Chains A and B, each alone.
Chain A
């Protein structure tokens, strides 16, 4: 027998508790561990908190440079995937008509394909004995298979753009679907050409979806470490690999935690600034 208050408690307490334990507390633990004075085992007794780990990050150019590079790569990947996804989403929202459901599923299937499998596909394409090199050598365009395609920053960027395109199309499609067809008709009646209508009505109204797509690609890409390991090689190292290495191989948890916090803080700050600058509310009204 649940009253209304009881019902609310029954519904709200479990998710609050679950998220507190498995989301909020772990993030707090990362911050706490990052403030340890030494790189030994976890110990909050002596000299805690201390900013020595952060000082070490700032004083080590390779960390700062890696973070900068990874942020730039993530930004480039997010922008490229969004730009490439836009026409696809536009087609789905405005042109696919009664076949929208089918076309949408067709777009989603590659995204539902195993992440690792899609990376392996690019290894098969870009590898030294891979498909692209085979095509280039058999058609005589190059004499020797090139080892330069794979294990580079470019390979990481191409693979990740490929992976994110279908995902980026979803929020854009959702925004385009909500564009009031009446606005477009009104503009047409008033003599606006197709491009004017597109840039003055469709694009501004779809911007919330575009921003969502940018963030939804940018944020996970900043911390990505699997793709750079598999197709990046030494030249395509990303910041997420550094973080992860301190917990698996190097075993320096405080420094790894500080690197993780630095990444999270920068990412959150950039997203917050972007939202402030672009002012979502003005766009949507």
Chain B
């Protein structure tokens, strides 16, 4: 692939005269500038979302760690994210294995359903789950949010794992089963180790999807809010914002590290 690409660029194939690198650079600047601005802002002494920055301080971070509600919301997001990512990755693995290793009626329906949550506006699903939980008298809580997030994260897990399973030779599993291994042993000893990096990458991606989700969580949250829901509810109070943003920036650094890890792991496969 690389050799072919080098050869093709040597004879000038695929070359237009546009300075694409420059366009890419400009676009990246456009994407990063607002975030960087907010990052710098989290060190400012400003009392609201105002510019210019009046002075620099670390007080916002200290205040963020003193705010019990804020810490609780962050912890809630962590719990919801772990539950949702674990459920979605497990289900995505089941969908991937069923679809790639078995022929059965309903196979396409299963894959279609697993990907469908990506294809509807979230507010509709949020409303549906809101009504369903009401009808069933299920109190809204972190668990209801996690259940909803497992559904919207499932397409990501399914797509990542399907992509990996396509490249995995089923002969390896057949060999194990021919040699007398049960299906569960084959899964544990052959399939899971081979899928390992993709599973981790899928889990991390699902975690991020859940951790950042607000439209659904906002409708399904009971008394305990996740971090985005808490932040959304506090936006009206201007003086609160600098502290909230400081906390959000800290959490952002965490999610960025996760994203880098997820991408690195996947590209090694």
Q: Which residues of A contact B (CB under 8 A)?
A: 1-4, 6-8, 10-12, 14-16, 18-19, 22-30, 33, 42, 84, 87-88, 90-92, 94-95, 97-98, 101, 103-110, 112-118, 120-125, 127, 129-131, 133-134, 162, 165-166, 181, 184-185, 188, 194-195, 197-198, 202, 215-216, 219-220, 222-226, 230, 240, 243-244, 247-248, 253, 256-257, 260-261, 263-264, 267-268, 271
- Is A115 a contact partner of B214 (Cβ separation < 8 A)? yes
Question: By the criterion CB–CB under 8 Å, are A225 and B123 in contact?
Answer: yes
**17 further contact pairs, Cβ within 8 A, besides A107-B31, A112-B259, A124-B37:** A1-B182, A15-B114, A27-B124, A91-B24, A94-B20, A97-B6, A112-B258, A114-B212, A114-B251, A118-B34, A125-B34, A184-B8, A194-B14, A220-B122, A223-B124, A223-B215, A260-B127
Q: How large is the interface on B (under 10, 10 to 19, 20 to 34, 35 or more residues)?
A: 35 or more
Enumerate chain B residues within 8 angstroms of A103, measured Cβ to Cβ: 24
Q: How far is the CB of B104 from chain A (nearest CB, A)?
A: 6
The main secondary structure of chain A at its interface with chain B is: helix
Please determine whether A23 and B248 come into contact, CB atoms closer than 8 angstroms.
Answer: no
Q: How far is the CB of B159 from chain A (nearest CB, A)?
A: 11
Docked pose: A49 CA to B121 CA in angstroms: 25
User: Does B35 sit within 8 A of A, measured CB to CB?
Assistant: yes
B205 CB to nearest A CB, Å: 9
Residues of A close to B9: CB separation below 8 A: 97
* Partner-contacting stretch, out of B60-68, B164-172, B195-203, B228-236: B228-236
Q: A2-B183, A113-B256, A125-B34 given as contacts; is B235 within 8 A of A230 (CB)?
A: yes
Query: How far in angstroms is the closest Cβ of chain A from B6?
Result: 8
Q: Contact: A130 with B49, CB < 8 Å?
A: yes
> B28 — nearest CB in chain A belongs to which residue?
A106
Query: Which of B31, B129, B231 lies in contact with A166, CB distance below 8 A?
Result: B31
Secondary structure type dominating chain B contacts: helix
B1-39 vs A, Cβ < 8 Å mask (1 yes, 0 no) = 010111011011111111011011001101110110110
Write 15 A-B pairs (CB below 8 A) sorted by A numbering. A12-B102, A22-B129, A22-B148, A25-B132, A28-B128, A106-B28, A116-B228, A117-B252, A184-B8, A188-B12, A220-B122, A226-B232, A244-B219, A260-B127, A263-B121
- Cα–Cα, bound, A264→B38 (Å): 35
A11 touches B98 (CB 8 A): yes
A15-B91, A88-B27, A181-B4 in contact; A264/B124 too (CB < 8 A)? yes
Chain B interface residues (CB < 8 Å from chain A): 2, 4-6, 8-9, 11-18, 20-21, 23-24, 27-28, 30-32, 34-35, 37-38, 41, 48-52, 87, 90-91, 94-95, 97-98, 102, 104, 106, 110, 113-114, 116-132, 134-135, 147-148, 150-151, 154, 182-184, 208, 212, 214-215, 218-219, 228, 231-232, 235, 241, 245, 248-249, 251-252, 255-256, 258-260, 263-264, 267
Which of A122, A181, A216 is close to B8, meaning CB atoms less than 8 Å apart? A181
Most chain A Cβ neighbours within 10 Å, of B18, B20, B114, B128 = B128
Q: Tell me if A108 and B259 are in contact (CB < 8 A).
A: yes
